[in-house]
């Protein structure tokens, strides 16, 4: 249902890059491009709104951007009290106070989005234009759908639930995809042979007469292998989220009492030399031979609480990377390799935001100029 939104947003990012280049090779900072893309896609699906880039200049957009900037900053902070309970009662870093303040701002903003959608729906019902129970995108958004459910079962789908869903999607679904795209581009810039192979696959299966779209994705196995290999080496949720044992159990001879907080160190599993050949080497080809089978590669978790956004995330990442590789020639800014140091933060971001040189591919210039 939202394919056109994703493609439009990727198209707008290409257009901006193409215009910046003006036919030449120019330096771009990619982390913020990926972050803006992820937020725009998510907010258009949630509320039919776009808060970054061209046209997003009003007070509402500014407020959203300020709130999200603070969310990302706070995510990057560890709270001492989570690890050393002695600090819990003093909130020595003031993290909890900032979180409470931020939560209030976020709640007010999300309530505005819900009320705005509610008002639009009542106007469209009054004008008995039932088909326009959608926003100006002409599509029902997540909030539209949840408000329809609220009409049927108000107790089950309160405003609180809707705001919770908005927050979960924004927090779980943007940073993770942004980080994966940044790591993937960094890895292929350090491995030009991988970039060339991916480009050859795209030229062979997509061609040069249209920009890659979501329907092309199932044909691009090597591109998916690059994404799997990136998620193996740089999983954006390296410890999953904390789980709790619902009963006493024994795992690998360890007795785990009921109610224990359990963290799965998938970063270590993904780099375990007993499980992977040349475990720290970036080698997308390993997935051609089925090396990733079983429960060795679990970047989205497994079981009932595994990531419900896995296929959406994979789709956005593949569409973005594939189109960038198809449309531009990419190079490192200097001779030295891209620094792959991991920064701190919940989604294991790159310590230094990625910069690269980008130049429109001659064969695709015509297509790009029409975006
Ligand atoms: C590369 C992209 C992504 C990665 C690597 C990722 C990874 C994860 C992981 C590891 C978990 C925790 C699973 C567990 O503890 O067992 C999770 C949970 C979750 N993810 Fe994702 N995710 C990604 C994208 C997304 C997207 C795009 C969305 C939303 C549209 C999303 C929504 C969620 C939600 C709502 C949860 C909580 C599920 C629950 O607790 O039941 N994720 N994700």
Domains of the chain: total:
1
Q: What ipTM was predicted for this assembly? A: 0.99
The three-point CA angle 301-305-310 to 5° equals 55
At 347, which CATH number?
1.10.630.10
Q: How many CA atoms lie within 13 A of 229 on its CB side?
A: 27
pLDDT digits (tens, 9 = 90+) for 264-308: 999 999 999 999 999 999 999 999 977 878 889 999 999 989 999
* Average pLDDT of span 246-253: 93
Predicted pLDDT of residue 33: 97
Higher pLDDT, 82 or 160: 160
Query: Across residues 209-221, what is the average pLDDT?
Result: 97
C-alpha of residue 247 to centroid of ligand 1, in Å: 24
pLDDT at 8: 95
The pair of three-digit structure tokens given for residue 35, joined into one six-digit string = 């972050």
Categorize the per-residue pLDDT at 215 as very low, low, confident or very high, splitting at 50, 70 and 90. very high
Does the annotation flag 307 for ligand binding?
Answer: yes
In contact, 198 and 227? CB cutoff 8 Å: no
Residue 298 and residue 292: Cα distance in Å, rounded?
9
Residues lining ligand 1, Cβ inside 6 A: 168-169, 172-173, 176-177, 180, 236-237, 240-241, 299-301, 305-309, 312-313
* pLDDT the model gives residue 130: 46
CA 220 / ligand 1 centre spacing (Å): 24
Report d(CA 9, CA 224) in Å as an integer.
21
Question: What is the structure's pLDDT at 360?
Answer: 96
80-96, pLDDT tens digit by residue?
666 677 766 676 667 88
pLDDT in tens, 114-128: 999 999 988 877 665
Domain range holding 40?
Answer: 3-369
Helix then strand then coil, in percent of the chain rounded to 5, is 55, 5, 35
Residue-level pLDDT at 358 = 97
Q: What percent of the chain has pLDDT over 70?
A: 91
- Nearest ligand 1 atom to the CA of 313 is 27
Question: So what's the pLDDT on residue 123?
Answer: 83
262 forms bridges with which residues in the sheet? 243
Distance 308 CA to ligand 1 centre (A): 6
User: Tell me, what's the pLDDT at 293?
Assistant: 80
Phi, psi of 151 (to 5 degrees): -60, -40
Residues 6+ apart with CB under 8 A from 336: none
Residue labelled with tokens 């294991």 = 348
Please state the φ and ψ torsions of residue 27, each to the nearest 5 degrees.
-85, 130
For residue 291, CA distances in Å to 217, 218, 295, 298, 300 come to 21, 20, 11, 13, 17
């Amino acid at each position: 249902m939202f394919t056109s939104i994703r493609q439009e947003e990727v198209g707008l990012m290409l257009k901006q890059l193409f215009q910046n280049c003006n036919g030449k090779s120019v330096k771009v900072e990619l982390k913020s491009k990926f972050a803006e893309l992820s937020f725009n896609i998510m907010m258009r699906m949630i509320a039919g709104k776009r808060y970054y880039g061209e046209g997003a200049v009003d007070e509402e957009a500014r407020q959203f951007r300020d709130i999200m900037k603070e969310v990302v900053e706070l995510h990057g902070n560890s709270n001492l009290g989570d690890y050393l309970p002695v600090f819990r009662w003093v909130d020595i870093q003031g993290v909890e106070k900032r979180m409470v303040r931020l939560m209030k701002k976020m709640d007010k903003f999300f309530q505005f989005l819900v009320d705005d959608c509610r008002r639009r729906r009542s106007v469209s019902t009054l004008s008995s234009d039932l088909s326009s129970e959608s926003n100006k995108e002409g599509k029902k958004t997540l909030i539209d759908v949840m408000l329809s459910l609220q009409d049927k079962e108000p107790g089950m789908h309160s405003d609180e639930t809707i705001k919770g869903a908005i927050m979960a999607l924004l927090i779980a679904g943007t940073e993770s995809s942004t980080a994966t795209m940044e790591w993937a581009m960094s890895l292929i810039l350090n491995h030009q042979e991988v970039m060339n192979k991916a480009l050859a696959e795209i030229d062979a299966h997509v061609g040069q007469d249209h920009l890659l779209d979501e329907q092309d994705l199932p044909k691009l196995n090597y591109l998916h292998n690059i994404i799997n290999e990136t998620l193996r080496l740089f999983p954006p949720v390296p410890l999953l989220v904390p789980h709790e044992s619902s009963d006493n159990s024994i795992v690998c001879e360890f007795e785990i009492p009921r109610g224990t907080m359990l963290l799965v160190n998938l970063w270590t599993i993904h780099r375990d030399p007993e499980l992977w050949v040349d475990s720290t080497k970036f080698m997308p080809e390993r997935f051609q031979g089925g090396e990733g089978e079983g429960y060795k590669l679990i970047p989205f978790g497994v079981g009932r609480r595994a990531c419900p956004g896995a296929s959406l995330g994979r789709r956005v990442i593949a569409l973005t990377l594939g189109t960038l590789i198809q449309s531009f020639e990419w190079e490192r800014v200097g001779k030295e390799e891209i620094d792959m140091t991991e920064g701190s933060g919940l989604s294991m971001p790159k310590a230094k935001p990625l910069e690269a040189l980008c130049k429109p591919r001659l064969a695709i210039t015509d297509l790009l100029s029409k975006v």
